[in-house]
Structure 1
Amino acid sequence: MRQREALARDDVAAPEHAGLSGVKLDLTRAEYLTLLIAMQLADWVLHAHQADEADETQPFRALEQKVFALAGDFGCEHLVEYVEEDGRFYASAEFDETGPAMEFIEEFENESFWNELLERLVERDLLRQLGEKTVEGLDPEEREIREEPYRRVYGDEFATHGVDRLEILDQRYVGDAKNKRKLS
């Protein structure tokens, strides 16, 4: 059974040796704030890329509701809002948009963007140079050696120029078919 499926099932108990059944947490206000930030990070990972919540993330949403419901007990009611229409708690706009989690998220997104762009271009160029069968046949060490020059070139380019010199060579127009305008 996949771990995600196990998380969604109520009949899967915590391991006995972990002593987690019915555990109560005694948190300080600072620890509760850290937990709120962790919940916000988890929510972003699970839901930021989807329009609708997946059923398999429901256990996380349920836990989030329990944690948010305690905000008043820790003097953090300004960080959580209760919406009567759907009977759910949400991170306040202040906490959601300017809280510490957003700094972590923005840093992660920025680093991920550059790393992912670099790795995809390296793979594309290596495949163009050697062909798919040859690349698949390379042992990891040899592949790393072959990829390194591309990594160095793209890494230097992005560090110096960002995306300023990236262009799509065969698409010089933007807009729909009726309202095309030249890019440059």
Structure 2
Amino acid sequence: MKINITKKQYKLLTELLYLGEWTANSWRTDGDRFKEYEEIVQYFNSFAKDFGFDDVIAYDQSMGDYFHTLEFEKTVEPFIQENDNEVFWNQLTYRLAKRELNNLKEKPKTQDEYINKLFEIEEKYEIEFEKNGIKSLHIKGME
């Protein structure tokens, strides 16, 4: 099969592949990384010169791999930062709300009650975090 893409599509696919592989592997150690993802990124990056992107994807002969340049990483970094920020606040809100809900003396009796109560508690935390960020967070025993 052959797929024809434009220069613009190659650029967008390169960014998407980078972001996807980064999401899957950035936090993993070498033995735990998804090698197949790294391989497809390497394969796709091997066409950078053909599309005129060898200024943002460079080949290192000594390592035998393609690397994204700092210039390229600067273009995708805002997406990573925005995602990290959203995930942080969503997870913090959800986990605190779930902990609070599980510590209630009177537990919700149905799944609908549980979900509604969870949303209610999450909203309380969302309002607090929008207003004060992490300023109000304190860890017992570390003050």
Q: Same fold (TM over 0.5)?
A: yes
Which position in structure 2 is the counterpart of 1:122?
97
Instruction: Give the Cα separation in 1 of the matches to 2:50 and 2:16.
Output: 18
Which position in structure 2 is the counterpart of 1:146?
117
Of 88, 91, 94, the residue aligned with 2:71 is 94
Shift of 1:129: 1.0
Which position in structure 2 is the counterpart of 1:34?
12
Which position in structure 1 is the counterpart of 2:23?
45
Shift of 1:34: 0.5
Q: TM-score, normalised by structure 2?
A: 0.91
Shift of 1:53: 5.0
Instruction: Give the Cα separation in 1 of the matches to 2:136 and 2:96.
Output: 14
Shift of 1:127: 1.1
**Residue ranges of structure 2 left out of the alignment (5+ in a row):** none
Q: Which has the larger radius of gyration?
A: 1
Of 21, 24, 27, the residue aligned with 2:2 is 24
Residues 1:81 and 1:130: Cα distance change in structure 2 (over 3 Å): farther
Q: How does 1:49-68 map to 2 (within 5 A)?
A: 49-52=27-30, 54=32, 57-68=34-45
Q: 2:55 is paired with a residue of what secondary structure? A: helix
Residues 1:91 and 1:60: Cα distance change in structure 2 (over 3 Å): same
* Equivalent residues, number: 143
Shift of 1:130: 3.6
1:36/1:67 contact within 8 Å kept = yes
Q: Among the aligned pairs, what percent are the same residue?
A: 25
Q: Which runs of 4+ in 1 moved over 3 A?
A: none
Amino acid in the other structure paired with 2:86: E
Instruction: Give the Cα separation in 1 of the matches to 2:31 and 2:2.
Output: 28
Amino acid in the other structure paired with 1:51: T
Instruction: Give the Cα separation in 2 of the matches to 1:25 and 1:89.
Output: 21
Amino acid in the other structure paired with 1:29: K
Matched, 1:73 2:50: yes
1:47/1:53 contact within 8 Å kept = no
Instruction: Give the Cα separation in 1 of the matches to 2:14 and 2:61.
Output: 21
Q: TM-score, normalised by structure 1?
A: 0.72
